[in-house]
Amino acid sequence: MKVSRLAPYIFVLLWSTGFVGAKYGLPFADPFIFLALRLFIAAIILFGIALLLKSPIKLTQIQIRRSALIGIFLHAAYLGGVFFAISRGVSAGTAAVITSLQPVLVSVLAIKILNEKLRGTQILGLTFGLCGVVLVLGPSFERSVSGLGIIAVFIALIGSTTATLLQKKIGSGIPLLAGTAYQYCASGFILFIAAVATGGTDIQWSIKFAGAMVWLIFVLSVGAILLLLWLLNTASAASVSSLFYLVPPATAVEAYFLFGEKLNTQSLLGIAITALGVWLVLRSAN
């Protein structure tokens, strides 16, 4: 099997660990300063990798502005929204279900904005994927949640949807390493301003927090993000977005092994339906 065929599933595995990293790290730091520090360090690492690989670092003003715009939506809005919501008591399950509307929004908007066409099997797959995610995470819904936290999750949804469409429309010609580094610089600056403005600049340094930070930087901000942007440059927005349906089930499985959280029959059925839905979308896109 070609590596390119494995790439979508490697991305899902890496991306799903972000919720685990957040669960370990957020008790020790305010969300915005946590993310700002993570993104600034990741930007330095990517600039260093670009230098080692002799990849272009000096971009045009247009490329820098486009990178910054994509980054603000993908990292400041999406990650900032999710981390803030979780810090306000919204469960990862609820946040995952709301942000799992992203493939549907991207697919619908891509028809108009990117002139992509959806086949009947893709529409069926998107529907299956959403139903499967709801089944997996249904038992974790709270009866009482933070209203501000829910608003933050919807901001995250809008951010990830917009970033996906922007990357596909204006980001494909930007050098991957430097472009992503500029994304992080712009997003980190916005998140740092948000941290100062809200008074959320506390960090309690510990081995657990440092471990979470290292994992989130190298596995998520370097590995998963670069893989996501590469996938968006080489496949349709609809097919790549459908992969986000697999993230909540993958996280549920990881929580089972790492935290002893149980998987009931409903969850297992949801995982199967989600996998079928994503398979239909990817199969139809090829």
Q: pTM of this prediction? A: 0.83
Structure tokens at 190: 């916005």
Q: Is the pLDDT of residue 36 over 50?
A: yes
Which tens digits make up the pLDDT trace of 203-244? 999 999 999 999 999 999 999 999 999 998 887 777 887 888
Which tens digits make up the pLDDT trace of 68-126? 999 999 999 999 998 898 888 777 666 777 777 787 778 778 877 878 777 778 778 77
Confidence band of 262 (pLDDT split at 50, 70, 90): low
Structure tokens at 252: 């549920």
Task: Identify which of 143-147, 187-191, 238-242 has the greatest average pLDDT.
Answer: 187-191
How many Å apart are CA 121 and CA 119, to the nearest integer? 5
Please check whether residue 228 is in contact with residue 94, taking contact to mean a CB–CB distance below 8 angstroms: no
Q: Is the pLDDT of residue 8 over 80?
A: yes
Nearest C-alpha neighbor of 22 from the set 4, 7, 45, 38: 38
How many Å apart are CA 202 and CA 222, to the nearest integer? 25
How many Å apart are CA 29 and CA 32, to the nearest integer? 9
**DSSP secondary structure, 10-53, as one string:** HHHHHHHHHHHHHHHHGGGB-HHHHHHHHHHHHHHHHHHHHHHT
Nearest C-alpha neighbor of 217 from the set 226, 228, 204, 229: 226
Domain ranges of the chain: 3-285
Confidence band of 140 (pLDDT split at 50, 70, 90): low
Q: What is the pLDDT of residue 241?
A: 78
Distance of CA 63 to the CA centre of its chain: 22
Q: What is the pLDDT of residue 1?
A: 46
Nearest C-alpha neighbor of 45 from the set 158, 181, 165, 189: 181
Nearest C-alpha neighbor of 170 from the set 15, 66, 99, 279: 66
Lowest mean pLDDT across 32-41, 58-67, 69-78, 240-249: 240-249
Q: What is the pLDDT of residue 178?
A: 95
Residue 203 in 3-state DSSP?
A: strand
More confident residue, 86 or 44: 44
Which burial class, exposed, middle or buried, applies to 227 when counting CB atoms under 10 A from its CB (0-12, 13-18, 19+)? Answer: middle
**What's the sign of the alpha-carbon dihedral 183, 57, 16, 36?**
negative
Please check whether residue 39 is in contact with residue 221, taking contact to mean a CB–CB distance below 8 angstroms: yes
* Radius of gyration for the alpha carbons in the chain, expressed in angstroms and rounded: 18
More confident residue, 241 or 165: 165
Confidence band of 284 (pLDDT split at 50, 70, 90): low
How many Å apart are CA 233 and CA 236, to the nearest integer? 8
Nearest C-alpha neighbor of 261 from the set 12, 1, 19: 19
Confidence band of 38 (pLDDT split at 50, 70, 90): very high
Structure tokens at 151: 């608003």
Q: How many CB atoms lie within 10 A of CB 61?
A: 7
